[in-house]
Amino acid sequence: MHEVALAQGILDVVLDVAGGREPRTVRVRAGELQSVTQDSLQFCFEMVAQDTPAAATRLEVEIIPGDALLIDAIELDDGWHFRPDLVNDEVAT
């Protein structure tokens, strides 16, 4: 299940951006060649995020052409956070 590795990479970025706060939503764009679905990626994210501040975080996954995995934004209590050094950077897998 390569989704677990993808979810772990997403979680690492989310926790870094959140800085100890509880993220609400993460917007992700996944290339169709990643062969993931909203449900499978959400399930794996929930699994790796257990016992972290991101345990209840919801992923919004948009399927795009190609093989990229991009984090567009992370929603925290004070609104959406975009980090220029992270937005549209591929998550390490």
Tally: H helices and E strands in the chain: 2, 4
| Domains delineated in the chain | 2-81 (3.30.2320.50)
| Predicted TM-score (pTM) of this structure | 0.84
> What integer pLDDT is reported at residue 81 of this predicted model?
80
Please state, in angstroms and rounded to a whole number, the distance separating the CA atoms of residues 47 and 45.
Answer: 5
Read off the pLDDT of residues 36-50 as tens digits, 9 standing for 90 and up: 998 999 999 999 999
Which tokens go with 65? Answer: 């052409």
Q: Which residues of the chain have pLDDT under 70?
A: 1, 83-93
Q: What are phi and psi of 29, to 5 degrees?
A: -115, 125
